[in-house]
Amino acid sequence: MRRLPFITFEGSEASGKSTQAQRLAARLDRSGVPYLFTREPGGTPIGETIRELLQFASHNSGMTPETELLLFEASRSQLVREIIEPALEGGMCVIADRFFDSTTAYQGAARKLDRETIERFNLFAVGDCIPNVTFVLDVDAATANSRMQQPRRPDRMEQEPEEFYERVRQAYRELAAREPNRIVLIDGSRNAEEIESQISAIVSARFPALAMNPQSAIRHPRS
C-alpha cells in the first residue's frame, strides 16, 4: 500500500504550532487526503491519563525531571504503537502536534538531562517511526508571551521562568541546524495565513501524493 508521510509540528508554548498543525489537517481534509491528527502527550486513553498527571494533577509539583522524561516516553510509545503506526500502515498521512523533538528540547536542553540518554529513550519509545518532516515554529519569548491567552489556569510547564523557554527555543534551532533534511525552521512571528501557505507549499513540493490545490485555502477566523 502507498505510504503517506508522518508530519510533526514543534515549538514552544504560543508558537502557533497547534494552529498550523490544524490548518494543514484542514487542507488535507479539503483535498480528500486520508489523515490522522494526534497530539502529545496524549492521543490514547493511557496517554491522556499521563497528560493529566504531567500537567494538572494536584500532586505533581514535586515531579523529578527523570520521572517527567519517562512519562513523556511512556505516552509516546503507546501512541506510536496504538495509533500512529497502524494509521501509516493503513495508508493515512499522520499529523502530530509535538513528538520526540519536544523531549530533546524540554527535558534535554531546558531540564538539562543527559542528551545521549534522551536520544536513547526517544529511539526506544518510537522504534523506527521517525517523522518524514518536522516544522518548528520559531518565536521569541516576547512574541510568545504576548500571545498567551489569559485568564486560564497555567499548566505545570507554563509556570517555568523565561530562561527555561529560551533554552527550549535554542534547542529547537540547534536541532533544525543538525537535521536540515527533516526539520524546517519556520518564522512563527508572521501572520497565520502566510505561515500556512509556506507550510502547504513545502508539503506539496516534498510529497506529491499530498499536492494540495492552492484554491482549497479558505479564510480562517483569527487564531
Report the residue number, 13 or 196, with the smaller CB distance to ligand TMP. Answer: 13
In the complex, minimum distance from the CB of residue 27 to ligand TMP, in angstroms, rounded to a whole number:
21
Of 5 and 65, which has the nearer Cβ to ligand TMP?
65
Q: Distance (Å, rounded) from C-alpha 16 to C-alpha 49? A: 25
Distance CA 47, CA 49 (A): 5
Least distance from ligand TMP to the Cβ atom of residue 162, Å? 14
- By CB under 6 A, name the binding residues for ligand TMP: 13, 39-41, 72, 98, 102-103, 106-107, 157
Q: Measured in whole angstroms, how far is the alpha carbon of residue 24 from the centre of its chain?
A: 13
Asked if the peptide bond before residue 151 counts as cis, ω within 30 degrees of 0, the response is: yes
**Closest chain position to ligand TMP (CB):** 106
To ligand TMP, the closest distance from the beta carbon of 41 in angstroms equals 5
Least separation in angstroms between CB 42 and ligand TMP:
8
Q: State how far the Cα of 187 lies from the Cα of 165, in Å rounded to an integer.
A: 16
| Residue reference for cell 536541532 | 175
Q: Measured from the CB of residue 48, what is the shortest distance to ligand TMP in angstroms? A: 12
Other beta carbons within 10 Å of 183 = 21
Residue 30 or 147: which CB sits closer to ligand TMP?
Answer: 147
Q: Which is nearer to ligand TMP, 40 or 196 (CB)?
A: 40
Distance of CA 92 to the CA centre of its chain: 18
- Residue with the three cell numbers 493529566: 52
* Nearest-angstrom CA–CA distance, 119 and 140: 26
Whichever of 106 and 135 has its CB closer to ligand TMP, that residue is: 106
